[in-house]
Amino acid sequence: MALFVLFGIAGLIIFIGFLGELIFKSTNIPDVIWLMLVGIVLNIFSKDIASQPAFQSVAPIFTTFALLFILFEGAMNINIKQFIKGIVGGVNITVFSFVLSSLAAAFFMMLFLKWRFIESLLLGSIIGGTSSAIVIPIIKKISLGSHATTVLTIESAISDVLCIVGSITIIDILVFQTLQVPSVFEKLLYSFIVAGVLGTLAGLFWIRFQKFIQQFSKSYMTTIAYLLIVYSFVEYIKSNGAIACLFFGLIYGNSKKIEKLLPMGDTNGPQSVVSPSAKFFYSEISFFVKSFFFVYLGLIIDFTDYWSLLIGLALTILLFLVRPLAVFMTTKKTTQKKDKVFMEILAPKGLAAAVLAQLPLHNGIANGLKYSTIVSSVIFFSILLSTLLVFLTEKGHFNGLRLPKMNLSKIQKSRKKEKSLKEELDEDLEKRKGKKTINS
């Protein structure tokens, strides 16, 4: 494809992303839909784009940057006090949702496609999480409470770790026929705790460094450069760079509150190093990478494999039916009904699932090729269903999958009415009997 055509497509994507945000503000239809449709149209009419070597070499780099930057920018807008309050709820819903979703998908594949349990569980672990690259942009634009926002942000970041560790562990069992339970927990703790500590320390250092460097010059790009260095270092020591970026963004975005808690030698008093213009700049970068990320997801879906599409649709519906149970078991503190509904429906799959779906084929596991096509289908339908339900919930047309609660006061009133009617009928019968006896 000619270079001028690619530039034209890139410009068109940015305009569609901008128009999608305007449409979202007026209609509550998420811009994710329009961007994915662009990718689908490009996939249908120009099938050679996704298969070109240049595209395949650049796509993993871009999607990884999109993931870590969206996490960073999303965490900047979270109140650190709300984060501390919501971290327990975020971890709880992550674990419950991952376990329930993985087992539900595994039993579905065993019952209807006759896969072995271990292979079915591998598919379940790949699609058992949620995508931060999709959840965070959506929750930034909907009317969602601070607690629910924090819980969903934490869940979308942590669930990738569970998916990666769970999937790799099951692949090791299939390939080497061994299971080392302590190593699984060590990987989880190392991925989360080490990354969280390093991301926090990186944020504290960068607050101090930015206050020093701003005396001479202001450069928002240096923060992005530092973000890439933090991610690279944490990945180099075999921990989770995305989690580190989340904690870095949280500390950096709450610099004023952090300095109140931890005085850092500033005689002028605590001041935020993140100005409104800086936040606007980072939000524009996030918009740019988000737009191309969703177009990429539309590009990688294979619409010629109808059977895999149907399986993916069935799995998506199953996962969305299981999700309310995880929310019910872990979010008792969330009092607003609408917040619980959003937590039930925001379970889309994304980049982590797409990457993990390639591992079974590379490791020579049975049905290896089917993993990729089924997971791509689940990604598409889960994003489509999430955005559709978000639209319906915002409009007030969808109130969750729970059964309506019984109104006890209405039941009591109806029972009193029935009792009074019965008493009136009994009195009327007694009067009639008395009249008959007098007449006789």
Higher pLDDT, 350 or 125: 125
Residue 439 has pLDDT above 70, yes or no: no
pLDDT for 297:
78
pLDDT for 4:
84
pLDDT for 407:
46
Give the span between the Cα atoms of 120 and 103, in whole angstroms.
Answer: 9
Q: Are 82 and 154 in contact (CB under 8 A)?
A: no
Residue 270 has pLDDT above 70, yes or no: no
Give the span between the Cα atoms of 297 and 235, in whole angstroms.
Answer: 24
pLDDT for 231:
94
**pLDDT tens for each residue of 26-81:** 776 777 788 888 888 888 887 667 667 767 777 778 878 887 898 898 888 888 88
Q: What are the DSSP calls for 269-325, one per residue?
A: ----SS-HHHHHHHHHHHHHHHHHHHHHHHHT--TT-HHHHHHHHHHHHHHHHHHHH
How would residue 20 be classed by pLDDT, with cut points 50, 70 and 90? confident
Q: Are 34 and 19 in contact (CB under 8 A)?
A: yes
Q: What is the mean pLDDT of residues 237-244?
A: 87
pLDDT for 404:
45
